[in-house]
Structure 1
Amino acid sequence: MLAPLPRTARDGALLAVADALVARAPEIVEANAQDVAKARASGTSESIVDRLTLTTERIEAIASDVRDVVALPDPVGELVRGSTLPNGLELRQIRVPFGVVGIIYEARPNVTVDAAALCLKSGNAVLLRGSSSAYASNTALVGVLRDAVAEAGLPADVVQLVPGESRESVGELMRARGLVDVLIPRGGASLIRTVVEESTVPVIETGVGNCHVYVDADADLDMAVRILINAKASRPSVCNAAETLLVHADTAEEFLPRALKALAEAGVTVHGDEAVQRFSGVCDATIVPATDEDWETEYLSYDIAAAVVPDLDAAVRHIRRWSSGHSEAIITRSQPAARRFTQLVDSTTVLVNASTRFTDGSEFGFGAEIGISTQKLHARGPMGLPELTSTKYVVTGDGHIR
């Protein structure tokens, strides 16, 4: 439906979307107020309410993000590789849209626009299934999107909201194999696990982030403290925030008092093993005993698990056992240690002397992302526009037969 259209048609529709969002912001805010009121009445935490809330300023920011997507390179038709075979056949592998992309996501109505914009830019139609807690907001947003793309000359049905607020509609979307080409879940561990385990439609698994920071024996400790606090406390509710600190035993005596003090000042509760708990008297840090549940937890809060390990290989073993495969960082001045860590750790992103918070499509220079894939097939890590495409081979001959 969209693949044959020139870039100008898709970009024109996206510019119309951006303009319409700004022009119709009052009706979007009014619809969003219904969801916010319901959320507060049901006792939803203020952090979740904040994610749900749309204001005129936030809508203008969303519209600006859509315009940023317009400026990104067009992936459709991009030549991945090409050659002339010995028999004279011309072989080209080019990027093509998936076709129909389904997005299942939780109470963040900005995702409605972000996902639709990225799918349209990459030549895909999109089916959006947000959470029932944002149903009024998503209905208003999709109405604006459909009207805008239709006015720009595209079929309105390239953007659709899956009707209904019940779980049955989610189940139907997950079983729409042959009608939907790929599903992308965005949200917490429970949502992602359900989609991965129950969907008959191919799934790109996006990222639960149980991310680790390992402080090596030969680390710059000032750097290590800065990176740790940024990775944990700059924005703890996102998937690239650090959830576990591992410290080499040879540097624990010097590093942990400084790290625990800094974590305490940032309001972070430490869930420590026995070696970490020994330091509870040397600073004002709140340290509670860690259990196996802590090692596997994506807190998304001002909490961090912490352990002392005898060496780098022990840190790697811990990460391999408990990590979700998202992002892991090593802090070290040793090039051999950095090389060994990056070779042995099998996650989407391995960082050396840098915060896990850099695992992000925008930070990587992709302009935008549909999510962070923690699986190994097709896409891995932050997914930009190219990851919303597949490829096909175009073979050109001159009467060739085999």
Structure 2
Amino acid sequence: MFDVTELPLIGGAALRARSAARVLRTLPTDAKDGALVAMAEALVERTDEILAANASDVEAARADGTPESVLDRLRLDAGRIEGVAAALRQLVALPDPVGDVVRGSRLPNGLELRQVRVPLGVVGIIYEARPNVTVDAAGLCLKSGNAALLRGSASAFGTNTALIAVLTDAGEKAGLPAGFVELLPADRASVGELLGARGLVDVVIPRGGASLIQRVVRESRVPVIETGEGNCHVYVDASADPAIAESVVLNSKTHRVSVCNSAETLLVHRDYPHLPRLLAALAGSGVALHGDDASRAAHDDVVPATDEDWATEYLSMDMAVRVVDDLPQALDHIARWTTGHTEAIVADSATAIAAFTAGVDAAAVLVNASTRFTDGGEFGFGAEIGISTQKLHARGPLGLPELTSTTYVVTGRGHVR
């Protein structure tokens, strides 16, 4: 048994979550769905209370000189609260993965073999700024039968405290066990305790910037599902339709710049004849362009790019631009600088599309579509914890099935070996 005296900050919460997880793993779907509906209704009913806490967080963050892109992630309004409540309601409509038979067979000796989805148990989630993740994580963990230990950022602690108060009050009134979701202290030491709680916590999922993710990967004794940065590229092939290229590139870059599936680099085939038009459209939309010599020759507003630009996840109205000789050179550039999140191609050539989708290594590959579609909700999976950029267990949007493991159930009639 884990010695909780080694966890002065999170030990109590972890024990409550561990106890709750035993109840949640056998909770019927209708009980989980009823609680999700109650939690969604409570969020809307107590919007004013949540917004008051959020306004204090935003004001304090602005006074600390927090960049606008981060403030945008932190800020809530009535529409965003309705959005996170709607995400909980959407989970009700999604299939419960717990109990699904992944595969099954009758063995030659007559044993019945089934591989069945089961909850992970206690899921620790470390995230930055975004208070909507608090609600998404609580809902996803509940629907998949897991207890949630949530460690948000200090900048959002007031908002997260208000959200958890609403969720726990509504959830427990709907019959959920105490400890089904717990908010951990927002300090560095609590992260260290969480990462060391092997035996109490079954998996940790970091969602945030590179420094946070790398710390978790380096230090955790608990298994980690790694989410990553979004240094996403759009490659415009020589065969691309100019109207489609302009629409996809602009949406990928400008739709919402502070999110991980916003495009940061534009790669354009040397023989694409509409580069000046494309760059003018970006500049006209307020995008600051950092480019190589060829792209600078195509538009006066492009400033020189360096290796730092190719490597940067801007999360702002900035974009790096490079003109490539051919598709293999585009793939080489992506292979060097990608974070493995989302890569996109705009092309009419089936040959180019096939080569790109086969040659690029990413959690999601978009063809003639915006990078902004890499999202659990847009994929029809409902809300997600984040986008996994690793290659073990789960890759891409971390939705309900990805928050489960499996158990082999073997049934015989007195079989012995």
Write the mapping of 1:166-177 to structure 2, written as runs, cut at 5 A. Answer: 166-177=187-198
- 2:139 equivalent in structure 1: 117
- 2:8 equivalent in structure 1: none
- 2:249 equivalent in structure 1: 228
Among all aligned residue pairs of Structure 1 and Structure 2, give the percentage whose two residues are the same amino acid. Answer: 67
1:33 Cα shift?
2.9
- 2:284 equivalent in structure 1: 265
- 1:209 equivalent in structure 2: 230
- 2:304 equivalent in structure 1: 289
Q: What is the DSSP-based 3-state SS (H/G/I as helix, E as strand, rest coil) of the residue aligned with 1:165? A: coil
* Equivalent position to 1:137, from 159, 166, 179: 159
Are the aligned partners of 2:69 and 2:315 in contact in 1 as well (CA < 8 Å)?
no
- 1:391 equivalent in structure 2: 406
- 2:11 equivalent in structure 1: none
Q: How far, CA to CA, are the matches of 1:5 and 1:160 in structure 2?
A: 18
**Is 1:373 equivalent to 2:388 in the alignment?**
yes
**Is 1:276 equivalent to 2:276 in the alignment?**
no
- 1:336 equivalent in structure 2: 351
Unmatched 5+ stretches in structure 1:
none
Deviation readout 1:318-350 (Å, 9 max, x if unpaired): 111110011111122211211111111111111
Deviation readout 1:49-75 (Å, 9 max, x if unpaired): 343233344333322221121221111
1:173 Cα shift?
0.8
Which residue type is aligned with residue 61 of structure 1?
G
**Is 1:256 equivalent to 2:275 in the alignment?**
yes
Q: What is the DSSP-based 3-state SS (H/G/I as helix, E as strand, rest coil) of the residue aligned with 2:315? A: coil
1:381 Cα shift?
0.8
Are the aligned partners of 2:69 and 2:257 in contact in 1 as well (CA < 8 Å)?
no
**Is 1:241 equivalent to 2:256 in the alignment?**
no
Write the mapping of 1:354-369 to structure 2, written as runs, cut at 5 A. Answer: 354-369=369-384
TM-score (norm 1): 0.94
**Is 1:180 equivalent to 2:195 in the alignment?**
no
- 2:10 equivalent in structure 1: none
Which residue type is aligned with residue 222 of structure 1?
A
- 2:70 equivalent in structure 1: 48
**Is 1:16 equivalent to 2:46 in the alignment?**
no
Which residue type is aligned with residue 230 of structure 1?
N
Deviation readout 1:280-336 (Å, 9 max, x if unpaired): 34xxxx211111111111111111111111111111111111100111111222112
- 2:48 equivalent in structure 1: 26
- 2:342 equivalent in structure 1: 327
Are the aligned partners of 1:328 and 1:349 in contact in 2 as well (CA < 8 Å)?
yes
Query: In 2 relative to 1, CA 182–136 (structure 1 residues): closer, same or farther, beyond 3 Å?
Result: same
Query: In 2 relative to 1, CA 55–333 (structure 1 residues): closer, same or farther, beyond 3 Å?
Result: closer
1:22 Cα shift?
2.6
Are the aligned partners of 2:73 and 2:258 in contact in 1 as well (CA < 8 Å)?
no
1:184 Cα shift?
1.0
Are the aligned partners of 2:294 and 2:323 in contact in 1 as well (CA < 8 Å)?
yes
**Is 1:158 equivalent to 2:177 in the alignment?**
no
Query: In 2 relative to 1, CA 353–33 (structure 1 residues): closer, same or farther, beyond 3 Å?
Result: closer
Which residue type is aligned with residue 257 of structure 2?
P
- 1:60 equivalent in structure 2: 82
1:112 Cα shift?
0.8
Q: How far, CA to CA, are the matches of 2:79 and 2:316 in structure 1?
A: 26
Write the mapping of 1:342-353 to structure 2, written as runs, cut at 5 A. Answer: 342-353=357-368
Q: How far, CA to CA, are the matches of 1:352 and 1:165 in structure 2?
A: 40
Are the aligned partners of 1:204 and 1:373 in contact in 2 as well (CA < 8 Å)?
yes
- 1:74 equivalent in structure 2: 96
**Is 1:108 equivalent to 2:130 in the alignment?**
yes
Q: How far, CA to CA, are the matches of 1:271 and 1:90 in structure 2?
A: 61
Count of residues in correspondence between the two structures:
395
Query: In 2 relative to 1, CA 216–57 (structure 1 residues): closer, same or farther, beyond 3 Å?
Result: closer
Q: How far, CA to CA, are the matches of 1:290 and 1:378 in structure 2?
A: 37
Q: How far, CA to CA, are the matches of 2:299 and 2:51 in structure 1?
A: 48
1:80 Cα shift?
0.8
Q: CA RMSD in A?
A: 1.5
Are the aligned partners of 1:147 and 1:156 in contact in 2 as well (CA < 8 Å)?
no
1:199 Cα shift?
1.4
Unmatched 5+ stretches in structure 2:
1-21
